[in-house]
Structure 1
Amino acid sequence: MPPIYARRVLSRRRVLTAAAGTSLLPLVAACSPSAGTLDPDQLRIMVPNAAGGGYDTTARILAGIVEDEGLGERPEIFNLEGASGGAGLARTVHERGNGDLMMMMGLGVVGSLHTNRAAVGLDEVTPVARLLSEPEIVMVREGSPHRDLASLVKAWKRDPARLRFGGGSLPGGPDHLATHLLAEAVGIDPREVRYRVYDGGGPTLAALFTGRIDAALSGVLENIDQVRAGAVRVLAVTGDQPVPGIDAPTLRDAGVPLGFANWRGLVAPPGLSPRQRDRLADLVDRVHDTSAWREAEQANGWTDDYLTGSAFGRFLMVESDRVGDLLDRLGV
């Protein structure tokens, strides 16, 4: 089974264009108070969920690099929760012409637009850049009887209704999709999966430690400290390559024909002028070019998956269609 998205290796573009279907209104943007020169100390990055999760940590790493590498004043990070990212996307669309705002997003936001039937769409924002991809990890608590993926799958297939899985994303998000795709790949009807939703990685780990769930699929970044401390046992990683520092095979190496990756990127409000788009693109380009960003990728198990401008906009449209089709096919 192919990964949830097809990776594309494209050269970086310095100039961003809007996604297909996004209307640019330069005259409106020019009248906006944010339409002038990008003042780095005014730049804000919205995180559309709670502090401490993957979006939040990625945004704060990026902001720190902006400051530490002398690229500008540290951008302000703020959290706007609601509708699994839908509230943040609606706010971004509402900020038409504001060139001092970006929103961190990823696969979870795409899924939420389908499951919540959002009134706004990805074709209404300005695509800035896809930054990275990140695999999920299949994990159990250290005291679990399952010491490898084969043991977990055997128990799961024997009684699908008995094994309880958890994750920090709602239907359509990465944890949810990875769990149900794993079930499908090992021959279990995805509709039989017992999947419990928790509000992020922390509550998911708490449920795992207290035995409320038997296994969890979640992102590397949110769990790396617990993995390194030996508090959880990783049975497999869902990406195409092993993750440095995590002693676990890929799903394919463990005999399961599945590859899956989450991703994160940045979008901005609609109606930006070419100058506003260029300035945001240039800042993200310069962050991406630093050794500090490469070190962050390595430390957090990320894969560089940089894609900018209109190419990223086309990816968003393809990804939205793909997630909708997956939800329909999985019956979830």
Structure 2
Amino acid sequence: MKSMTRSLLMAVGLATSVSAFAFEPEKPECIAPAKPGGGFDLTCRIASNGLGDAGLLPSPMAVTFMPGGVGAVAYNHINANRRDDADTLVAFSSGSLLNLAQSKWGKDLDENDARWVGAAGVDYGAVIVKADAPWNTLGELVEDIKADPSSFVLGAGGGVGSQDWMKAAILMKSVGVDPKEMRYVAYEGGGEAIAALMGGHIKVYPGDMGEMKGQLEAGRLKVLASMSPERLDGEFKDIPTAVEQGYDAEWAILRGFYLGPDVSDEAYDYWTETFKKAYDSNVFQQTVLDQGLVPYKSAGAELDADVKKRVALMRELAKEAGLIK
């Protein structure tokens, strides 16, 4: 009898073990919801290169670009056509969550129409100008903006109400300028905004620190301030924060990945465990740092709760700003 009981327990344990690892992606893919360049691109590179180099993927991960609506096209595509596609991760940022909070991706879609599975890292806003711009400090730029706000054209990825617009608005508000006075041009992602800055079509780009790695090394752009609570490490250590320069302007960007809303628990658990393993991998964490992000460990149910809390807060902020009713 004891022998039979032991055999049954072993069989149950084996079945549990097998079911826990039954799913494995056949053709892993990461969708970057914008054109090449910018934050979504670097987020997918963290998944493709970081997970791959850490030996956590069964085969190389492809990166697909799906621009449109700063994430709207990808979110609608997943919900309409690939709701249960467990092979495909989609990159998101705090800007994505802000759009969801304002129902910009469709009145019938909200934060519950995805399975938020893993964080890539945290980035921070940045006040960026061309390398040959006349300003070398945030204070110098601010003085010129205050003198004639309407003469300054700012541009970034996303329209009015997007996180890049919010970063610009926060900066304007911190210097006593009504954000409604600023001239703002919307682009499809950070890559286009950087090109516009380089081409002289805009004067200031309220972008992200993570996007600046290659650009700073090339000496084509300069960052007047990071919108982080304190200075960042590494190559950004010499860049002062807006706060230390006397301006109440902070903006943190969470970057991560979601799956379709009907992806099985089995597949969701697989990806959750994959990210948890990645957070313990020096190779993966170095990839995060190499992309200019600060490591942020959150996956599965923890990230899901985090995302929904952020969306709820952003929805309230958008109401206060009169962007939604």
* Residue identity (%): 24
1:259 is matched with which residue? 250
CA shift, 1:331, in A, is: 4.7
> Equivalent of 2:317, from 303, 322, 326?
326
In the alignment, the residues of structure 1 paired with residue 110 and residue 212 of structure 2 have an alpha-carbon distance, to the nearest angstrom, of 30
Q: Is the counterpart of residue 207 in structure 1 residue 196 in structure 2? A: yes
Query: TM-score scaled to structure 1, two decimals?
Result: 0.82
Aligned to 2:47: 62
Kindly tell me the number of residue pairs found equivalent between the two proteins.
297
What CA distance in whole angstroms lies between the structure 1 residues aligned with 2:120 and 2:49?
A: 16
Q: C-alpha displacement at 1:115, in angstroms?
A: 6.0
Larger RCO: 1 or 2 (CA < 8 Å, sep 6+): 1
Shift of 1:173: 2.9
Is the alpha carbon distance of 1:297 and 1:276 closer, same or farther for their aligned partners in structure 2, counting shifts above 3 Å?
A: closer
Distance in 2 (CA, whole Å) between partners of 1:101 and 1:148 is: 42
**2:71 is matched with which residue?**
85
Quick check: 1:296 aligned with 2:287? Answer: yes
- Distance change in 2, residues 1:214/1:96 (3 Å): closer
Deviation (angstroms), 1:261: 1.1
Alignment match, 2:161: 172
- Aligned pairs for 1:90-239 (under 5 A) are 90-94=76-80, 95-113=82-100, 114=102, 116=104, 118=106, 119-239=108-228
1:174-221 deviation digits (Å, cap 9, x = unpaired): 321111111112211111121111233333223223322221111123
Which residue pairs with 1:73 in the alignment?
Answer: 59
**Superposition pairs of residues 306-325 of structure 1, within 5 angstroms:** 306-325=297-316
Does 2:286 align with 1:286? no
- Amino acid in the other structure paired with 1:53: G
In the TM superposition, residue 65 of structure 1 has moved relative to its aligned partner by: 2.8
1:26 aligns to what?
A: none
Q: 3-state DSSP class of the match of 1:166? A: strand
Residue type of the alignment partner of 1:74:
P
Q: Which moved more, 1:81-90 or 1:231-240?
A: 81-90
Q: 1:67, 1:41 → 2: CA distance?
A: 14
In terms of Rg, which structure is larger?
Answer: 2
Q: Structure 1: how far apart are the matches of 2:138 and 2:273?
A: 43
Return 5+ residue gaps in structure 1 as ranges: 1-35
Unaligned runs of 5+ in 2: 1-20
- How much does 1:326 deviate? 3.1
Aligned to 2:13: none
Instruction: Check whether the contact 2:130–2:221 (CA below 8 A) recurs between aligned residues.
Output: yes
Cα separation, 2, equivalents of 1:160 and 1:172: 19
Q: CA RMSD in A?
A: 2.1
Deviations 1:132-161 (A, max 9, x none): 110121111122221111111111112211
Tell me by how many angstroms 1:287 deviates: 2.3
* Residues 117 and 98 of structure 1, relative CA distance in 2, 3 Å threshold: closer
Separation (CA, whole Å) in 2 of partners of 1:38 and 1:311: 21
Question: AA paired with 1:173?
Answer: S
Deviation larger for 124-133 or 110-119? 110-119
In structure 2, the residue matched to 1:14 is none
SS of residue in 2 equivalent to 1:42: coil
TM-score by length of 2: 0.84
